[in-house]
Amino acid sequence: MQEPISFFTSFNFNDLWFLSEAALRTLWISLISISIGTLLGCIFGWLQHESKRLAGILISPVLDIFRSVPLIIQLVLFYNFAPIVGLHLDPFYSGVVILTLYTASLVSNVARAGIESVPLPMRKASRSLGLTYWQDMIHVVFPIGGRAVFPSWIGVVLGVMKDSALVSVLGYVELLKASQILITRTQEPLLILGLAGLFYFALSYPISMYASKFEQRWAK
């Protein structure tokens, strides 16, 4: 009599390595998206502050769409409609595009708030001392406004890192997708999800700790 064939195997060291690689993919897609998105968000926030008419007509409505529509819908729509206009992107690059725009839409409000947190008399005083517009932005607005909104930007960073798990719906094997694959094979959801949670904590906690120490050093 033949022994029954089992399609399930127990969790092993190779599976832990598989989760580690997926965690690095999560970190990589988050790092790219947050870096580019922060730069774009600062530009958009500056435009919203400097040009109310341009922001009201062109920038703000588009950014509101990315802030309002659930991220998973943005990912699915872009991934499926991009080939229609000739953009044949794999799940990684599709995820980067949407996460970048999503990050930019969030950072734009943070950047605008940072600029507007600097008192107008202080900016006028800097200009009266002979500073140019860009010297005023670099030496006055950025240090003061950046300090005011730095915690908010860290919140955006941590949020986007967790939201990157939604790229799994496109087939990109990041941490959540890898967890789903292992759960299907091992039938050990509590163990796998527990480990995935630890990996997310390991990615996020150092950022929070470094940000807290940097903020304290910046306040001195």
This prediction has a pTM of 0.87
pLDDT recorded at residue 165: 87
Residue 63, CA distances (Å) to 14, 118, 163 in order: 42, 24, 17
- Quick one: which of 77, 73, 36, 43 has its CA closest to 59? 43
The letter for the amino acid at 112 is: R
For residue 129, what pLDDT band results from cuts at 50, 70 and 90? confident
Residue 173 to residue 175: CA distance in whole angstroms? 7
Calpha distance 97→79 (Å, rounded): 10
Q: Please state the domain extents for the chain.
A: 13-219
pLDDT category at 188 given cuts 50, 70, 90 is: confident
CATH class of 13-219: mainly alpha
In the structure, what pLDDT confidence band is assigned to residue 219 with cuts at 50, 70 and 90?
low
